[in-house]
Chain A
Amino acid sequence: NAGVMQNPRHLVRRRGQEARLRCSPMKGHSHVYWYRQLPEEGLKFMVYLQKENIIDESGMPKERFSAEFPKEGPSILRIQQVVRGDSAAYFCASSPVTGDYEQYFGPGTRLTVT
Chain B
Amino acid sequence: GESVGLHLPTLSVQEGDNSIINCAYSNSASDYFIWYKQESGKGPQFIIDIRSNMDKRQGQRVTVLLNKTVKHLSLQIAATQPGDSAVYFCAEIGTGTASKLTFGTGTRLQVTL
Contact = CB atoms under 8 A, between A and B. Distances in A.
Interface stretch (A62-70, A78-86, A100-108): A100-108
Contacts of A58: 100
B45 A40 contact: no
A31 B100 CA distance: 11
B101 A41 contact: no
Interface in B9-48: 31-32, 34, 36, 42-46
A101 B98 CA distance: 11
Contacts, number: 70
Interface residues of A, number: 31
What interface size band does chain B fall in? 20 to 34
Contacts of A59: 100
A40 B31 contact: no
B44 A41 contact: no
Interface of B: 5-8, 31-32, 34, 36, 42-46, 49, 51, 89, 91, 93, 97-106
